[in-house]
Chain A
Amino acid sequence: MGPATHTQMQKPCADIGHNGEVTSSSLTQTSSAPLIQRPNVVAVGTIVWLGSEVMFFAGLFAIYFTLRSTSGPLWESESSVLNVPFSLVNTLILVASSFTCQAGVFAAERLQARATGWKPTQWGTTEWFFLTYLLGAIFVSGQIFEYATLVSEGISMSSSAYGSAFYLTTGFHGLHVTGGLIAFLLVIGRIFAVKNMGHREATSAIVVSYYWHFVDVVWIGLFLVIYVLK
């Protein structure tokens, strides 16, 4: 074997003709493809969807501000009923839940599902997410309590433009928080479903945290507009 075989094999080709002088790959090609960290498609998709959620809440804010500008005296009388200290405490609970959620994400990035000790620094994703669930559930319960109090004081969805705007904005936000709570349970269930927590479970945990932080930021906006600005 060697050059002899090589020329023998080339002979028939020379008769037919070939395009050996043409190369199919580009000439500017680098010697090896650079190593790059491809973006996680689930994370990018979640962020794009959250962008559309920005516009959903833009519509709700537009409703609120338009009704406020057309019926100012109504806003003065109705918004004085709001219990601002109560709502401030509820807001702080929701903001705290974002921090516990992020601690759960840090655990997910270590691929640590469960606690290795009682100290919070040793907690896994499930422990942090259960705590986040608890804080979020307290927030929703507090909001339901607030709604019940307001209805007893005569502010309902159909009582006035103020009632409609108040319940639409805070209500849709509350539904988002409730959806987030269900998402936390589903992610915890996924972590429980596998023997070893892997990158797929970590991705689920991370995208749910994106959603949770988004909903938290929207609430800070709503709180400033409805309770502080009035």
Chain B
Amino acid sequence: MRANKNLFWILAVFCLLLSAVYIFWHILDQGNVEWVGALGIGLAGVLSAFLAFYLGRVFSAQGGDLPEDRLDSDIDDGDPEMGFYSPWSWWPVILAGSASLMLLGFAVGTWITFIGVALVLVAIVGWVYEYYRGYFAR
């Protein structure tokens, strides 16, 4: 985690410096700021700093290195509860299908979009509450 964090900080500093160089060089050459590159590179630096900051917070909160980051750990040291993972689900397929129907409607005929939006709502609710009802109701 420490290595990940440092890599993102290096990327952040690199992108922000490069953005400054890009702005300065373009002003020297053309006399104005080129916004697409300046913002694209600059905000890529913000993206890296954002991830670096968050990983830093996670790293300091976890109180040590993860087993996967240690050379002296065994496979079974990294064997805690990793979280809940759905073994399989039809809902993402339904959501993808209804979302494509919704976007197809924008291109072909707006009436299809209304059907698509209704199906998207059904799919999102179905997916979010899949493990909250039926056998899984708590």
Residues on A lying within 8 angstroms of B by beta carbon are: 25-26, 28-30, 33-42, 44, 47-48, 50-52, 54-55, 57-59, 61-62, 65-66, 69, 182, 186, 189-190, 193-196, 198, 200
Contacts and interface: CB of A to CB of B under 8 A. Distances in A.
Contact of B129 (A29, A59, A190): A190
A41 B129 contact: no
Interface residues of B, number: 40
B64 A29 contact: no
Contacts of B46: 54
B127 to A, nearest CB: 10
Interface string B40-63: 100110110011001100100111
Contacts of B128: 186, 189-190
Contact of A36 (B32, B43, B65): B65
A107 B112 CA distance: 42
A163 B50 CA distance: 31
B47 A54 contact: yes
A40 B83 contact: yes
A165 to B, nearest CB: 12
Contacts, number: 96
Interface of B: 1, 32-33, 35-36, 39-40, 43-44, 46-47, 50-51, 54-55, 58, 61-67, 71-74, 77, 80, 82-84, 124-125, 128-129, 132-133, 137-138
Given A44-B58, A58-B39, A38 B82 contact: yes
B40 A36 contact: no
Nearest to A40: B83
B96 to A, nearest CB: 17
